Amino acid sequence: MLPETIDRVTVLGAGSMGHGIAEVSAMAGYEVVLRDIEEELVQDGYEKIEWSLGKLEEKGRLDEDAETILDRVSTSVNLEESVSDADLVIEAVPEQLEIKEDTLSTVDKHAPDHAILASNTSSLSISDIASATDRPEQVVGLHFFNPPVKMDLVEVIYGEATTDETAELAYEWVESVDKTPIYVRKDVHGFVVNTVLVPFMEEAGWMLSNGETTVREADATMVYERGYPMGPFELNDFGGIDIAYHFRDESDQPVPPIIKEKVDNKDLGKKSGKGFYDYEDGNGVDYEPEDAGGYDALRTEAVMINNAAWLVGNDVATPEEIDIGLRLGGSFPEGMCRRGDRIGLDVVLEKLESLHEEYGEKRYEPANYLVELVEEGFTGDDAGKGFFDYRVDPPYHYLEWELNDDGVLSITLDRQERMNSMSEDMFMEIDRLLTDVKVDEVSCVVFTGAGERAFSSGADITGFTAGEPAEIMDVDEMFQTVYEFPRPTVAKIDGFCLGAGLELALACDIRVATEDSTIGTPETTLGVIPGGGATQRLVRLIGEARTKEMVYRGMQFDAERAEEWGVVNYAVPDEEFKDLVGEIVDDLVSGPPVALKAAKRVIQDGQEASLEAALAMEKQSFAVLATTDDMLEGVTAFRQNREPQFEGE
């Protein structure tokens, strides 16, 4: 028996994970009990929630005032009372199997029969934890990432007895607290993200232990040549070297000697002041671009891709789930399934076979699924299929789109983990969507950004440092596709709209922004210039002087100034934003398609012609439109005092 709905949530453990989970639950409207073994611990967690909510309120990130949300959180040190009427109990107690088993065993006796019991463990067996209860079918893993308020991903993990109904209800609850869930369908050590992520750090550790690389060489190569947000040793220090050590040690897997040495010496990274870098007496993380090169990046990536293949082949997770997990949980620029398809799965397999022959280590044994893909000729991008099928209806990794019955094509830039920054794949996906869509079915296009923080924060600069100059020169093709699309386009801007994000908006016909959005051209602060048309489109919108000032100074300003300068059409308060965009879209939907297409062409092409030539273009288009059925409908509707019903003919 499961709850029909989840209304009341109890979180056990008021530490960093526990109070974070309680906070996101309360923010989503749930009544929450935060419980720990001592009043001091509970109060400390409660105060941290209060502080965090205050900060979020200051930044305008809450839908309600902080006090209202905080009122939904109550505290307790009594375990029995705290779970007595809970629909969902989430334990976030210390990461020791015995403690978690004892906790859920007690919860099982006092929680309602319908309650779902969840563990926030990052690596322990859900099946083992569930075995301490008499309701293992109602036990599920809910692995939040730290800190829960900021991190968007939650792994929903099946134990051996977990029912689909339990997992599905937990999944829906995660969505209700505005997080992105992925299923982990089998109880494997490391679940999805850590199974693929840990080798990023571990393989570098083996290579350093064997004298095959240096710390700075590895980190610089993976960041500046491969586009990762941190290098493997930098990430080890950031998360705690002991974390990677215990992850391997708990599963009786070999640990790189250098990792063990650091743990034995208590050099655990930033938290201890020293790890692979010295944060007390040294400069901390100090690698430079010139340190890159010489590190075998493919060796690391091959192991990660192989682990991803193992997960897919054993029905633990889909390629989509793995890649979302790595993007949201690891802040990777792309998932490893997508990267494998880029590299070529035959190249990956050849590398693994070579490594296995040289070292004989189990971690280099190719996964059966990887071998099967290559043997079938499904080697990735070039073959049209790999982890993903690109042959018919290729997947969209970074866009959400919908074409409704009114012909409104809504395109959402969906890369929230990087504030919708635009990668090479996103450029290609926008271009492909607008090229492939049936234009006759579209009345207008509306671009927006996923989440509440950004339309788009710009181009993903890590992708450019890893790219070839000749390839980078082609990025403006997508912006031109948007600019020339034969239907009206609208940029719906809420939050940051910078760099390439602004260039996408400039390629649109109409720009509407919330008044506190941030508009700007920060490229020169990064040592480059706008590369997607901003230098030219801004000149045509706001003139040479203001364009030069924006670009030269790398200016960023609020949307109210952007409206004043003419960069956006409207800057409006949040509460007016949706309605205004709706009014504009309604006008575009009800407008005459042929006339709007002609108007767009004449306005845009006319800018490149002399006034005489442009006027001739306008006159010619007017003459053609005067013979259309839409024109006759427009005149008839005017005479009959009714709204016209244009058919695009």
The catalytic residues are 122, 143, 155, 194
User: Cα–Cα distances in Å, from 113 out to 133, 172, 237?
Assistant: 12, 20, 44
Count of other CB atoms within 10 angstroms of residue 607:
9
Cα–Cα dist 236/233, whole Å: 5
CA atoms within 13 A on the CB side of 324: 20
Cα 338 from Cα 73, distance rounded (Å): 41
* Beta strands 31-35; 73-76: pairing state: parallel
Cβ neighbours of 474 (radius 10 Å): 12
Interior/surface letters 415-443, b for 16+ CB within 10 angstroms, e for the rest: bbbbbbbbbbbbbbbbbebbeebeeeebb
DSSP label of 509: S
- On the question of a cis peptide bond just before residue 147, with omega within 30 degrees of 0, the verdict is yes
Bridge partner residues of 34 (DSSP): 11, 75
Q: What residues are paired with 309 via a beta bridge? A: none
For the stretch 107-110, contacts whose Cβ atoms lie closer than 8 Å and that sit 24 or more positions apart, written own/partner, are 107/12, 107/79, 107/83, 107/133, 108/132, 108/133, 108/134, 108/135, 110/79, 110/80, 110/83, 110/84
* Strand-strand pairing, 180-184 and 153-158: parallel
The CA-CA-CA angle for residues 483, 487, 492, to 5°, reads: 70
